[in-house]
């Protein structure tokens, strides 16, 4: 691959002083957080913990009596996700300079040697796998399947070749709640699979909306995201279809009670209504931003609500 330091220099030479400023301001800690994509780690931590919490609740086990399992699950899942993201940064260092949100990553600017990023990714995945091994074999296997899905099926294979890359990548993003549940109860309940499906279906409309906002960058990087290949009109149809697919999922989570069922249904209908509104609004980018923000709020509210309703 092309030298990553050259990318950073080229960006500066082409009138991007902000990149040089970003390089100068970043600390080693900030660089590490960028390498492991801490935002992704944190969001997946919410779904992992929810899966674990619900498994403890519905199997009649005490949270405080299982703090060791909680620690190994949370730490293990976070580490394998962080390691997978580091490898993703290593692989994508040849195209990240073309995108505004990724051009200041240490792998692009040359602040961190690529071989060190790869070593970091492998180390974190190994350590995370060891931690998960102290829970259950099932949780460990699911975690490794998530790593395989993200690193090989998505990053190394489908991301740059298939327009369905987002759907393929959604498998790894749906794994965390399964890890959390399996760490407590290896006999995965139907609810655990409902959480998996919820996360799987949530991701395409979330990332399609992001891709619409960043369509020029994805096009420049040669990544065949749906808006790049099929255009906004087709992408909007796909987004609405995926959001509509969320409607029946709360019916598989009835153990959480009527209040949660109502909340989840209202959130789904609200998202669908916003999606349909996209056919009337003229500014597609503005609509995509609204859909993206809604998707983030949706995920946070619905998973936090799952924990809250079990406390009442």
Q: How far apart are CA 180 and CA 95, in angstroms?
A: 33
Query: 228-266: per-residue pLDDT in tens?
Result: 999 999 999 999 999 999 999 999 999 999 999 999 999
187 φψ region: left (φ > 0), alpha (ψ -120 to 50), beta (else): beta
DSSP secondary structure code for residue 112 in this structure:
S
The helix or strand, by DSSP H or E, that contains position 275, with its residue range, turns out to be helix 258-277
Query: Taking the CA atoms of the chain, what radius of gyration do you get in angstroms?
Result: 20
Q: How far apart are CA 183 and CA 48, in angstroms?
A: 10
Domain boundaries, given as residue ranges, for the chain: 1-188, 189-312
Q: How far apart are CA 30 and CA 44, in angstroms?
A: 20
DSSP H helices in 26-174: 28-35, 38-58, 67-91, 106-109, 114-133, 137-148, 165-174
Mean pLDDT of the chain: 91
Query: 258-302: per-residue pLDDT in tens?
Result: 999 999 999 999 999 999 998 888 899 999 999 999 999 999 999
- From the list 26, 40, 301, 75, the residue with the least C-alpha distance to 172 is 40
105 or 180, which is more confident: 180
11 or 143, which is more confident: 143
Q: Does position 92 have pLDDT exceeding 60, yes or no?
A: yes
118-to-34, 85, 107, 270 alpha-carbon distances in Å? 14, 10, 10, 42
Phi, psi dihedral angles at 252 (to 5 degrees): -95, 5
236-to-19, 53, 191, 219 alpha-carbon distances in Å? 33, 35, 30, 18
**Per-residue pLDDT, 15:** 39
Tokens of 234: 């087709």
- From the list 268, 164, 151, the residue with the least C-alpha distance to 211 is 164
Cβ of 262: how many Cβ atoms within 10 Å? 11
Give 17's pLDDT tier (boundaries 50, 70, 90).
very low
Q: How far apart are CA 206 and CA 179, in angstroms?
A: 22
| Residue 215 near residue 228, CB atoms below 8 Å | yes
User: Coil, helix or strand for 104?
Assistant: coil
**Per-residue pLDDT, 190:** 96
Query: 146-168: per-residue pLDDT in tens?
Result: 999 999 999 999 999 999 999 99
Cβ of 28: how many Cβ atoms within 10 Å? 10
**Per-residue pLDDT, 1:** 38
In terms of C-beta density within 10 A (0-12 exposed, 13-18 middle, 19 or more buried), how is residue 193 classed?
middle
Superfamily of domain 1-188: UbiA prenyltransferase (1.10.357.140)
CA 80 to chain centre: 13
Query: 28-83: per-residue pLDDT in tens?
Result: 899 999 999 999 999 999 999 999 999 999 999 999 999 999 999 999 999 999 99
């Amino acid at each position: 691959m092309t030298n990553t330091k050259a990318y950073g220099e080229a960006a500066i030479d082409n009138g991007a002083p902000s990149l040089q400023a970003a390089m100068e301001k970043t600390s080693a800690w900030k660089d590490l957080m960028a390498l492991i994509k801490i935002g992704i780690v944190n969001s997946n931590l919410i779904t992992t913990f929810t899966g674990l919490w619900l498994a403890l609740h519905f199997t009649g086990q005490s949270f405080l009596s299982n703090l060791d399992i909680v620690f190994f699950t949370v730490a293990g899942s976070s580490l394998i996700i962080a390691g997978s993201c580091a490898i993703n940064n290593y692989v994508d260092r040849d195209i990240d300079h073309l995108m505004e949100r990724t051009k200041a990553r240490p792998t692009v600017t040359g602040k961190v040697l690529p071989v060190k990023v790869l070593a970091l990714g492998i180390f974190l995945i190994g350590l995370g796998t060891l931690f998960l091994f102290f829970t259950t074999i099932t949780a460990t296997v699911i975690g490794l399947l998530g790593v395989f899905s993200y690193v090989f099926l998505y990053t190394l294979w489908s991301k740059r070749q298939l327009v369905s890359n987002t759907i393929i990548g959604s498998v790894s993003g749906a794994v965390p709640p399964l890890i959390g549940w399996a760490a407590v109860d290896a006999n995965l309940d139907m609810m655990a699979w409902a959480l998996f499906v919820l996360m799987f279906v949530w991701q395409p409309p979330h990332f399609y909306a992001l891709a619409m906002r960043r369509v020029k960058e994805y096009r420049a990087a040669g990544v065949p995201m749906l808006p790049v290949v099929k255009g906004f009109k087709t992408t909007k149809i796909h987004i609405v279809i995926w959001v509509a697919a969320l409607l029946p999922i709360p019916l598989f989570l009835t153990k959480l009670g009527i209040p949660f069922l109502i909340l989840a249904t209202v959130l789904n209908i609200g998202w669908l209504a916003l999606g349909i509104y996209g056919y009337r609004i003229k500014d597609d980018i503005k609509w995509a931003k609204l859909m993206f923000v809604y998707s983030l709020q949706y995920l946070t509210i619905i998973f936090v609500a799952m924990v809250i309703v079990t406390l009442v």
